[in-house]
Structure 1
Amino acid sequence: MITTNSENLYNEAQKFMPGGVNSPVRACRSVGRTPLFIDKAKGSYIYDVDGNKYIDYICSWGPNILGHCREEVINAVKATCDKGLTFGACHKGEITLAKLIQKHFPSMEMLRLVNSGTEAVMSAIRAARGYTGKDKIIKFEGCYHGHSDGLLVKGGSGLLTNSIPNSAGVPKGYTDTTLLAKYNDENSVEELFNANKDEIACVIVEPCAANMGVVPPKEGFLQFLRDITKKNNALLIFDEVITGFRLSIGGAQKYYNITPDLTTLGKIVGGGMPLAVYGGKREVMECVAPLGSVYQAGTLSGNPVAVTSGIETIKILESNVSQYDVLNEKSAKIEKAMKESGLNVNRVGSIMTPFFTEKKVTDYDTAVTSNTKNFAKFFNHMQSNGIYSAPSQFEAMFVSMAHSDEDIDYTCDVIKSFKL
């Protein structure tokens, strides 16, 4: 494919933005390419500025579960824009969206709208600390919870892709209260609780990890986290920025039948617009200002355009929940093609990752045994054949409800034609 226009734009972008991008993984350095510059998208397809057409499995890193430019969502957003882009004030759409979210996530008895997953997680942890009066938190190696200072310790996503185990510019004091456990390792969690008696405010976890590649929880692991947090008067936070409304209409907590104390949502909840949510038990959320002493605010929180996009997206999802079964079937076909091609793949619902390692990937340590050079060959094979997927071994591939049977069949054929 000819990508001259993208290459020219990238050269220009590097004069103005670090690495020429506004999010590190987009730079495509780990796969030896320059990024594509996208012109438009529709349904399951995305088009670059050179006119190339791709079947899209990034789906804007998850939110486009309906595909691109779903007519009902676009029309509703356009109508809202005609009324004004932002008010910095209350509007009834906030209540409508809150009711829709609570309907499918009943654990979120009270919630607050924010603008990004990073902001949602940062705020949820602050609420947990404020409620419990404790400072320390437990996170897991390879789980990414946004780029707030206290959480940039062995995170996943772009940190893994670019070999940055931590981040410069974060004072040591910001991470002193962040304790690291191993995902899917109950003993590592128990040891931290024993060594920090009555000091741990919360455990935060991706219930199905998706930022070191897709790594599902082993059987009983999430229930263990639920039990040990209750036993130690700590809160359990599910970071469902990726899994919320994707693994099921009720997210991972419904999929795995585990109820957390606090939940963070993003991606799909805004229907592709910048919007995220944190919420949980009423008694915890009542600690948040103006009711309590935990301060959090945002001029653009509850932005009417983003809220409209979220409302319409969730309404479409709940109008035909059987769509999730179809989505799972489509995803299973791609997984099967990968396995038949000898790839080591982890899949949960409509998210998956092929790992280039002989090891079964169950945690951070096994994920990083992947041969990233072989992944780069796979990525380039896919993109050269019109498949748009994440340019990182440690990200997820997302399937949308807009992907047709023909899209899936073609994708499977391209996968099967891959040779190292």
Structure 2
Amino acid sequence: MLNTVKSEELYKIALDLMPGGVNSPVRAFGAVGRNPLFIDHAKGSYVYDVDGNKFIDYVCSWGPGILGHSHPEVLEEVVKACFDGLTFGAPTGKENQLAQLVQECVPSMEMMRMVSSGTEATMSAIRAARGFTGRDKIIKFKGCYHGHSDGLLVQAGSAALTQSVPDSSGVPASFAEQTLVALYNDKDSVRELFENNKDQIAALIVEPVAANMGVVIPDDDFLPFLREITEENGTILIFDEVITGFRLGVGGAQEWFGIKPDLSTFGKIVGGGMPMAIYGGRRDIMKNISPTGKVYQAGTLSGNPIATTAGIKTLEILRDHPELYTKIEANTKKLAEAYKVRAEKQGIAIHVNQIGSLMSAFFTGENVKDYAGATSSDTKAYADYFNYMLENGIYVAPSQFEAMFISAAHSDEDIQRTIDVLTK
């Protein structure tokens, strides 16, 4: 059994200070039937909790840690930048440098704006699309998460694909009415929404690879269809690449699938582990953002010099070392195969989705290609698996519906250790 005495003590204090004792819901470990671990430090592919337990980390701070924790080159640049000042609220050359790097890696980013979180980026991209088109309605997909702004916290209601209801208390129904919900990998559901809302849809926002209901991969013809139908209807296509950006490759999912969206949002890796996100795309759309246009968006810490420093160095390393992606993908495929071996050996139902360095093992016999398939999973079986892995020194997501992230810091020994635990 893990020693968790100090974590338990800290959690009791945190419960009185923060809702659920955490600053983001999934950290509470409620889905896996235990209290959270409090992390003390991290290095490479490992995290260490306050009780001295050491874990191979496949959460990677929910995605940013593609190079691993405390990468020495990134840290060196960040420490130097701190001595110049933590925040100025004024332009710096580093903002230009990061933007040029993003533009080099992702050519669709003709013009962009920096913000501090993925939620800010998606919220702002949708506002930009509405301002550009003069329309109010948007389409999102059930099971895709785009941050916690009011208009995106909705799910399909009793009228399925024609109405939406808030997915959180505190969200006015009038906000949700402007958000139409389609089904991922279901082209007919998208067609129906466009047919029933002719010339009313400002934007369609999608995770090109869904990664917030677990990893769900698009059908071969799904993203090309979204590109075609949005163009036909004068609707802005937004790729939410907060997770896939710079993870499937330096060009993100749009390079992987060969689809050019109108707008894109990036977070996590683009900040190298610091609070940073970016939205942008077509120049004619982005020119409508203040101060050159009438779509207002601002932020005191946007383009923060420490965050831009971390982002620049991280993207430079990824750009200059494409072999890292080859290594990470190969290791991810090895892990995916190990889960299949476990399922066969133990006679349990597991379906594995894997693309690049992203994967999920769903505890279901269903082929998981949409929200219904993902939610057919046995969450009790997942909780048992999570606790088994944790007790064996391996930290995976404390929820069936989160991705597993593999990093360049995971060594051959880490991968083999994980496979041994899975298949023994």
TM-score range, shorter chain: over 0.9
In the TM superposition, 1:232-271 aligns within 5 A as: 232-271=233-272
Does residue 216 in structure 1 map to residue 223 in structure 2? no
For residue 150 of structure 1, what is the aligned residue in structure 2? 151
Paired position in structure 2 for 1:381: 388
Separation in 2, partners of 1:321, 1:60: 22
Counterpart in the other structure of 1:55: 56
The one-letter amino acid paired with 1:391 is: P
1:77-92 alignment runs, 5 A limit: 77-92=78-93
Query: What does the per-residue CA deviation read over 1:187-219, in whole Å, with 9 as the maximum and x for residues that have no partner?
Result: 000000000000000100000000000000011
Residue deviations 1:120-158, cap 9 Å, x none?
000000000000011000000000000000000139xxx
**Contact persistence 2:74–2:310 (CA under 8 A):** yes
User: What CA deviation, in whole Å up to 9, does each residue of 1:359-414 have, x standing for no partner?
Assistant: 11111111111110000001001100000111000000000000000000000111
SS in 1 for 2:11: helix
Query: In the TM superposition, what is the alpha-carbon distance from 1:165 to its structure 2 partner?
Result: 7.7
Q: Which residue of 2 aligns with 1:177?
A: 178
Which amino acid letter does the alignment assign opposite residue 404 of structure 1? Answer: S
* Residue equivalent to 1:332: 333
Give the CA RMSD over aligned residues: 1.0
User: Taking structure 1 as reference, are residues 165 and 51 closer, same or farther at Cα in structure 2, changes over 3 Å only?
Assistant: farther
- In structure 2, C-alpha distance between the alignment counterparts of 1:394 and 1:86, rounded to whole Å: 36
Tell me the distance in 2 between the aligned counterparts of 1:349 and 1:115.
Answer: 26
SS at match of 1:203: strand
Task: Determine helix, strand or coil for the equivalent of 2:114.
Answer: strand
Which residue in 1 is equivalent to 2:231? 230
| Count of residue pairs the alignment pairs up | 409
- Tell me what 1:351 maps to: 358
Distance in 2 between the 1:167 and 1:365 partners?
Answer: 20
| Distance in 2 of aligned mates of 1:323 and 1:56 | 18
Structure 2 counterpart SS, 1:154? strand
Question: Are 1:361 and 2:376 matched, yes or no?
Answer: no
**Consecutive unaligned residues in structure 2, runs of 5 or more:** 157-164, 344-349
Q: Residue by residue, what CA displacement relative to the aligned partner does 1:231-263 show, whole Å, maximum 9, x if unpaired?
A: 000010000000000011100000111000000
Instruction: Write the mapping of 1:16-415 to structure 2, written as runs, cut at 5 A.
Output: 16-154=17-155, 166-342=167-343, 343-415=350-422
Deviations 1:328-371 (A, max 9, x none): 00100000000111131111111111101111111111111111
Question: Matched residue of 1:179: which SS?
Answer: strand
Using structure 2 for the length normalisation, give the TM-score: 0.96
Q: Which letter maps to 1:34?
A: N
Equivalent position amino acid for 1:139 in 2: K
State the secondary structure of the residue aligned to 2:139.
Answer: strand
**2-structure distance, mates of 1:165, 1:246:** 31
On the 8 A contact 2:266/2:277 being kept in 1, the answer is yes
> Partners of 2:94 and 2:397 in 1: how far apart?
33
Task: Judge conservation of contact 2:166–2:176 (CA < 8 Å) in 1.
Answer: no
Runs of 4+ that moved beyond 6 A:
none
Structure 1 unaligned regions, length at least 5:
156-163
Deviation by residue 1:146-192 (Cα, 9 ceiling, x = unmatched) = 0000000139xxxxxxxx98100001011110000000000000000
SS of residue in 1 equivalent to 2:48:
strand
Q: Deviations over 1:277-296 (max 9, x none)?
A: 00000000001001100000
Distance in 2, matches of 1:236 and 1:359, equals 30
TM-score by length of 1: 0.96
Q: Residue 162 of structure 2 corresponds to which residue in structure 1? A: none
Residue 148 of structure 1 aligns to which amino acid in structure 2? S
